[in-house]
Structure 1
Amino acid sequence: MMNYYYNSLNSMDKSFRSKMKRKIDTVGVLKIVALILSAAILLVLGFVIGYFTKTAVTHHTSSESVGISEVDVADYLMKEISSENIDKHLKKLTSRPHLSGTPGIHDTVEYIHNFWKQIHLDKTKLISYEVLLSHPSPDNPNSVSVLGQDDSPLFQSQPAEPILRPEDNSSEIVPPFNAYSAAGSVMGTPIYVNYGRVSDFEYVKNLNMTFKDQICVVRYGFNFRADKVALGEKYGCVGMIIYSDPADYAITNTSKVYPDSWLIPGGGVQRGTIKKSSTASGDPLTPLYPATEHAYRLNISEADLPKIPCQPIGYDDARKLLRYFDGEEVPDEWKGGLNITYRFGSKLISGAKAVKVVVNNEFKLDTINNIVGFIEGSVEPDRYVIIGNHYDAWVYGGADPNSGTAVMLEVSRAFMALTKEKGWRPRRSLMFCAWGAEEQGIIGSREFVEEYGLILGQRAVAYLNVDIAVQGRFVFRGKALPMLNTVLFEATKLVPNPDEEEVEHGRKSVYDTWCFRKPEKSSSSSPTSLSSSPSSPNHAVIIDRDDKSHSNYVTIYKDDDDIDDGVVKPIRPRMGLIGSGSDFAPFVISVGTTCADVRFIYDEKLNISSYPLYHTGYETYYLFSKHHDPGFIYSKALGRVWSQMALMLADRVQIPLDPVEYSDFVKSYFQKFKSSNERYLLGFNITLTALSSAVKNFTRAVKDFKARLDKIDLNNVHLVRQYNDQLMNLERSFIDHAGLPDRPAVKHVIFAPSRYNSYAASVFPGVTDAIFDLKQHLHDGEAPKYVEQVKKQLSVLIFMFQRAGANLKESDDFIGRD
Structure 2
Amino acid sequence: MLKRYSLLLAAALLASHLAPAQTPAAEPKPLLGFDASGAAAQYQLEAQFDAQLKTDNLRDWMKRMASRPHHVGSPHGKDNAEFMAGLFKSWGYDTRIDVSYVLFPTPKLRVLEMVAPTQFKASLTEKPLAEDATSGLTAEQLPTYNCFSKDGDVTAELVFVNYGVPKNYEELERRGINVKGKIVIAKYGGAWRGIKSKVAAEKGAIGCLIYSDPKDDGYWQGDVYPKGAFKPESGAQRGSVLDMPTYPGDPLTPGYGSTKNAKRLDYKKAPTLTQIPVLPISYGDAQPLLAALAGPMAPEAWRGALPISYHLGPGPAKVHLQLAFNWKTEPVYNVIATLKGNLYPDQWVMRGNHHDAWVNGASDPLSGLVALMEEARVAGELAKTGWRPKRTLMFCAWDGEEPGLLGSTEWAETNAKQLQKNVVAYLNTDNSERGFLFASGSHTLEKFFNQVARDVTDPQKNISISDRRRAYDLINGSPEAQKDARDRADLRIGALGAGSDYSPYIQHLGIPSMNVGFGGEGEGGEYHSIYDSFDHFTRFKDPNFAYCKVLAQTMGRAALRLVNADVLPFEFQNFSNTVAKYGTEVKQLADNMRIETEKQTRLLAEKRYEAVADPTETLLPPKAHEAVPYLNFSPLDNALLKLEQSAQTYALVRKGNPSLTAARKRELDQLLYQAEQQLLSTEGLPRRPWYRHQIYAPGFYTGYGVKTLPGIREAVEERKWAEADEQIKRTAAAVERFAGQVSRAAAVASSPPAQ
Is the Cα–Cα contact under 8 Å of residues 516 and 573 in structure 1 kept in the other structure?
no
Instruction: Report the equivalent of 2:125.
Output: 160
Tell me by how many angstroms 1:712 deviates.
4.1
Quote the Cα distance in structure 2 between the aligned partners of 1:734 and 1:183.
40
Note if 1:372 corresponds to 2:336: yes
Residue 226 and residue 677 in structure 1: after superposition, are their counterparts in 2 closer, same or farther (change >3 A)? same
Tell me by how many angstroms 1:683 deviates.
4.9
Instruction: Report the equivalent of 1:727.
Output: 672
Instruction: Report the equivalent of 1:12.
Output: none
Deviates more, 1:487-496 or 1:195-204: 487-496
Residue 479 and residue 177 in structure 1: after superposition, are their counterparts in 2 closer, same or farther (change >3 A)? same
* Alignment equivalent of 1:510, drawn from 465, 468, 476: 465
Instruction: Report the equivalent of 1:596.
Output: 514
Report matched runs for 1:1-12 at 5 Å.
none
Quote the Cα distance in structure 2 between the aligned partners of 1:812 and 1:634.
39
Note if 1:81 corresponds to 2:26: no
Aligned amino acid, residue 404 of structure 2: G
Tell me by how many angstroms 1:115 deviates.
1.2
Report matched runs for 1:122-137 at 5 Å.
123-137=94-108
* Alignment equivalent of 1:800, drawn from 718, 722, 734: 734
Instruction: Report the equivalent of 1:281.
Output: 248
Quote the Cα distance in structure 2 between the aligned partners of 1:666 and 1:593.
17
Note if 1:577 corresponds to 2:516: no
Is the Cα–Cα contact under 8 Å of residues 582 and 709 in structure 2 kept in the other structure?
no
Instruction: Report the equivalent of 2:725.
Output: 791
Residue 719 and residue 251 in structure 1: after superposition, are their counterparts in 2 closer, same or farther (change >3 A)? farther
Match of 1:392, SS state, is coil
Is the Cα–Cα contact under 8 Å of residues 519 and 573 in structure 1 kept in the other structure?
no
Instruction: Report the equivalent of 1:397.
Output: 361
Deviations 1:415-436 (A, max 9, x none): 0011112x00111111100111
Quote the Cα distance in structure 2 between the aligned partners of 1:570 and 1:735.
29
Tell me by how many angstroms 1:164 deviates.
0.8
Quote the Cα distance in structure 1 between the aligned partners of 2:205 and 2:526.
28
Is the Cα–Cα contact under 8 Å of residues 134 and 362 in structure 1 kept in the other structure?
yes
Deviations 1:522-560 (A, max 9, x none): 9xx853xxxxxxxxxxxxxxxxxxxxxxxxxx78879xx
* Alignment equivalent of 2:284, drawn from 294, 316, 319: 316
Quote the Cα distance in structure 2 between the aligned partners of 1:724 and 1:303.
40
Tell me by how many angstroms 1:400 deviates.
0.3
Tell me by how many angstroms 1:679 deviates.
7.6
Deviations 1:588-617 (A, max 9, x none): 1111111111111115xx9xxx74211011
Aligned amino acid, residue 367 of structure 1: P
Quote the Cα distance in structure 2 between the aligned partners of 1:107 and 1:265.
31
Largest Rg, 1 or 2: 1
Tell me by how many angstroms 1:810 deviates.
3.4
Match of 1:485, SS state, is helix
Residue 316 and residue 693 in structure 1: after superposition, are their counterparts in 2 closer, same or farther (change >3 A)? same
Q: Structure 1 stretches of 5 or more lacking a match?
A: 1-58, 528-553, 559-567, 775-785
Residue 299 and residue 792 in structure 1: after superposition, are their counterparts in 2 closer, same or farther (change >3 A)? same
Match of 2:371, SS state, is helix
Tell me by how many angstroms 1:96 deviates.
0.7
Deviations 1:633-657 (A, max 9, x none): 1111111001011111111111112
Instruction: Report the equivalent of 2:78.
Output: 106
Tell me by how many angstroms 1:750 deviates.
0.7
Instruction: Report the equivalent of 2:587.
Output: 674
Residue 707 and residue 416 in structure 1: after superposition, are their counterparts in 2 closer, same or farther (change >3 A)? same
Note if 1:216 corresponds to 2:179: no
Aligned amino acid, residue 181 of structure 2: D
Is the Cα–Cα contact under 8 Å of residues 448 and 570 in structure 2 kept in the other structure?
yes
Quote the Cα distance in structure 2 between the aligned partners of 1:509 and 1:787.
47
Note if 1:428 corresponds to 2:388: no
Quote the Cα distance in structure 2 between the aligned partners of 1:93 and 1:220.
28
Match of 2:155, SS state, is strand
Superposition RMSD on alpha carbons, in Å? 2.4
Is the Cα–Cα contact under 8 Å of residues 518 and 573 in structure 1 kept in the other structure?
no
Match of 1:367, SS state, is strand
Residue 445 and residue 520 in structure 1: after superposition, are their counterparts in 2 closer, same or farther (change >3 A)? farther
Instruction: Report the equivalent of 1:652.
Output: 565
Instruction: Report the equivalent of 1:69.
Output: 41
Residue 730 and residue 251 in structure 1: after superposition, are their counterparts in 2 closer, same or farther (change >3 A)? farther
Tell me by how many angstroms 1:409 deviates.
0.9
Quote the Cα distance in structure 2 between the aligned partners of 1:755 and 1:639.
33
Quote the Cα distance in structure 2 between the aligned partners of 1:686 and 1:315.
47
Instruction: Report the equivalent of 2:633.
Output: 688
Deviations 1:462-503 (A, max 9, x none): 111111132xx221111222122222221122222211xx23
Instruction: Report the equivalent of 2:227.
Output: 260
Aligned amino acid, residue 129 of structure 1: S
Deviates more, 1:688-697 or 1:676-685: 676-685
Deviates more, 1:667-676 or 1:240-249: 667-676
Tell me by how many angstroms 1:195 deviates.
0.5
Quote the Cα distance in structure 1 between the aligned partners of 2:449 and 2:210.
36
Instruction: Report the equivalent of 1:410.
Output: 374
Quote the Cα distance in structure 2 between the aligned partners of 1:404 and 1:210.
44
Is the Cα–Cα contact under 8 Å of residues 556 and 665 in structure 1 kept in the other structure?
no
Is the Cα–Cα contact under 8 Å of residues 63 and 426 in structure 1 kept in the other structure?
no
Residue 496 and residue 360 in structure 1: after superposition, are their counterparts in 2 closer, same or farther (change >3 A)? same
Instruction: Report the equivalent of 2:403.
Output: 440
Is the Cα–Cα contact under 8 Å of residues 219 and 232 in structure 2 kept in the other structure?
no
Is the Cα–Cα contact under 8 Å of residues 520 and 573 in structure 1 kept in the other structure?
no
Deviates more, 1:293-302 or 1:404-413: 293-302
Instruction: Report the equivalent of 2:10.
Output: none
Tell me by how many angstroms 1:812 deviates.
11
Is the Cα–Cα contact under 8 Å of residues 62 and 426 in structure 1 kept in the other structure?
no
Counting matched residue pairs gives 681
Tell me by how many angstroms 1:307 deviates.
1.3
* Alignment equivalent of 2:536, drawn from 618, 623, 633: 623
TM-score using structure 2 length: 0.86
Quote the Cα distance in structure 2 between the aligned partners of 1:628 and 1:811.
44
Is the Cα–Cα contact under 8 Å of residues 650 and 746 in structure 2 kept in the other structure?
no
Deviations 1:757-796 (A, max 9, x none): 121110111111212222xxxxxxxxxxx33222211110
Tell me by how many angstroms 1:709 deviates.
2.6
Deviations 1:167-221 (A, max 9, x none): 2111101110000101111111110110111111111122111111100100001
Deviations 1:614-673 (A, max 9, x none): 101110011111110111111111110010111111111111122111001011221222
Note if 1:335 corresponds to 2:303: yes
Is the Cα–Cα contact under 8 Å of residues 149 and 276 in structure 2 kept in the other structure?
yes
Aligned amino acid, residue 63 of structure 2: K
Report matched runs for 1:693-704 at 5 Å.
693-704=638-649
Quote the Cα distance in structure 2 between the aligned partners of 1:191 and 1:521.
36
Aligned amino acid, residue 649 of structure 2: D
The percent identity for this pair of structures is 27
Deviations 1:386-423 (A, max 9, x none): 100000000000100011111111110010011112x0
Aligned amino acid, residue 154 of structure 1: Q
Q: Structure 2 stretches of 5 or more lacking a match?
A: 1-31, 595-626, 749-755
Is the Cα–Cα contact under 8 Å of residues 63 and 651 in structure 1 kept in the other structure?
no
Tell me by how many angstroms 1:573 deviates.
3.6
Match of 1:247, SS state, is helix
Report matched runs for 1:559-574 at 5 Å.
569-570=487-488, 572-574=490-492
Deviations 1:202-249 (A, max 9, x none): 111221111111001000012100011100110000000000111111
Aligned amino acid, residue 640 of structure 1: Q
Is the Cα–Cα contact under 8 Å of residues 164 and 187 in structure 2 kept in the other structure?
yes
Tell me by how many angstroms 1:572 deviates.
4.7
Aligned amino acid, residue 675 of structure 2: L
Tell me by how many angstroms 1:734 deviates.
0.5
